[in-house]
Amino acid sequence: MPSRSIVQSRIERRCAEKGLKMTGQRRVIARVLSEAIDHPDVERVHRRAAEIDRRISLATVYRTVRLFEEAKILERHEFGQGRARYEVVPDSHHDHLIDMTSGAVFEFHSEEIERLQRGVAKKLGYRLVDHRLALYGVPLKGKGRLTGRRAAGEAK
């Protein structure tokens, strides 16, 4: 899939820019992370990485994820379920909605919300440079869950 290899080369290029040495195991973990669309936690990343290379330990995944996070290649999210979740630092800003029943994470962008937030900051005397917004919800009857575009990646 061409889109995957583009993402993969981007994460590997970022690693090279930051001077991170890419071992075989790090490359596998980087690939798993770049292919993930579900904001996985470390254990999920480990399960997927171990499917590719059984020698990759949970401790190695923890270390590598921390390394990528410190290098600002990975973004860490606290979605309130006790485990940090990760995604490759996106090129463009988005916010998240968390399905509290399944833990699925959906991405969205609302220009209206962006504008409102800039307005609030401005009223308080600030120029907005960053924000984090997470919505927490339960599916409406007959909706939510599998209707979300990110739900496909939940399987493992």
Identify which of residues 90 and 142 has a Cβ nearer to Zn ion in the complex: 90
Question: Candidates 46-54, 59-67, 102-110, 138-146 — which segment interacts with Zn ion by CB under 5 A?
Answer: 102-110
What angle in degrees, to the nearest 10, is found between the helix axes of 42-52 and 58-70? 120
**What span, in angstroms and rounded, lies between the C-alpha atoms of 61 and 50?**
10
To Zn ion, the closest distance from the beta carbon of 42 in angstroms equals 16
Question: Candidates 49-57, 78-86, 101-109, 146-154 — which segment interacts with Zn ion by CB under 5 A?
Answer: 101-109
DSSP state of 41: B
To Zn ion, the closest distance from the beta carbon of 19 in angstroms equals 26
**What span, in angstroms and rounded, lies between the C-alpha atoms of 48 and 50?**
5
95 contacts Zn ion (rule: CB under 5 A): no
87 contacts Zn ion (rule: CB under 5 A): yes
Window 41-70: residues binding Zn ion (CB under 5 A): none
To Zn ion, the closest distance from the beta carbon of 122 in angstroms equals 26
Identify which of residues 8 and 58 has a Cβ nearer to Zn ion in the complex: 8
Query: Which of 20-28's residues contact partners 24+ apart within 8 Å by CB, and which partners?
Result: 20/67, 20/68, 20/71, 24/53, 25/49, 25/53, 25/55, 25/56, 25/60, 25/64, 26/64, 28/52, 28/53, 28/56
**What span, in angstroms and rounded, lies between the C-alpha atoms of 44 and 151?**
15
**What span, in angstroms and rounded, lies between the C-alpha atoms of 53 and 5?**
19
Identify which of residues 107 and 114 has a Cβ nearer to Zn ion in the complex: 107
Question: Candidates 30-38, 49-57, 80-88, 126-134 — which segment interacts with Zn ion by CB under 5 A?
Answer: 80-88
Q: Which positions touch Zn ion (CB under 5 A)?
A: 87, 107
